[in-house]
Copies of this chain bind each other. A is one copy, B any other.
Amino acid sequence: MKNTFGNSVSVTIFGESHGSEIGVVLDGLAPGIRVSEEEIADRLLLRRPVGSISTKRVEPDHFRIVSGVFDGYTTGTPVCILIPNENIKSGDYQSTRSLARPGHADYAAYCKYHGYEDYRGGGHFSGRITAGLVAAGSIALSALEGKGIRIGTHIARCAGIQDRNFSDLQEDIRALSGTSFAVLDPHAAAAMQEAVSQAACSGDSVGGILETAVIGLPAGIGEPWFDSVESLLSHALFSIPAVKGVEFGDGFALSDMKGSEANDSFAVRERKVITRTNHNGGINGGISNGMPVIFRCAVKPTPSIYKEQDTADFFSLTEKKIRISGRHDPAIVHRARIVADCVTALVLCDLLCQRFGTDYLAAAEFSN
Copies of this chain present in the complex amount to 4
In the complex, which residues of chain B have a beta carbon less than 8 angstroms from the beta carbon of A80? 14-15, 23
- Label chain A's interface by main secondary structure: mixed
Contact partner, A3, options B27, B129, B302, Cβ 8 Å: B27
Distance of A10 Cα from B13 Cα, bound (Å): 13
Interface 9-mer from A39-47, A50-58, A143-151, A219-227 = A219-227
Contact partner, A298, options B4, B123, B224, B247, Cβ 8 Å: B247
User: How many residues of A are counted as interface, with CB atoms below 8 angstroms from the partner's CB atoms?
Assistant: 160
Complex: chain B residue closest to A313, CB-CB: B268
| A165 interface hit (Cβ, 8 Å) | no
Given the contacts A2-B227, A102-B266, A123 and B75 also touching, CB distance less than 8 Å:
yes
Distance of A114 Cα from B300 Cα, bound (Å): 42
Given the contacts A15-B66, A75-B113, A244-B251, A312 and B273 also touching, CB distance less than 8 Å:
yes
Could you write out 11 A-B pairs with CB less than 8 Å apart?
A: A2-B224, A3-B223, A4-B12, A25-B25, A204-B260, A234-B234, A244-B248, A255-B298, A267-B312, A267-B319, A355-B357
Given the contacts A102-B266, A305-B259, A125 and B285 also touching, CB distance less than 8 Å:
yes
Q: Are A104 and B285 in contact (CB under 8 A)?
A: yes
Distance of A119 Cα from B259 Cα, bound (Å): 21
Given the contacts A246-B245, A289-B107, A299 and B255 also touching, CB distance less than 8 Å:
yes
Task: State how many angstroms separate the Cβ of A152 from the closest Cβ of chain B.
Answer: 19
Distance of A251 Cα from B252 Cα, bound (Å): 11
In the complex, which residues of chain B have a beta carbon less than 8 angstroms from the beta carbon of A228? 238-239
| A187 interface hit (Cβ, 8 Å) | no
Distance of A125 Cα from B220 Cα, bound (Å): 14
Given the contacts A31-B117, A116-B76, A268-B317, A281 and B199 also touching, CB distance less than 8 Å:
no
Given the contacts A77-B16, A248-B244, A248-B245, A207 and B254 also touching, CB distance less than 8 Å:
yes
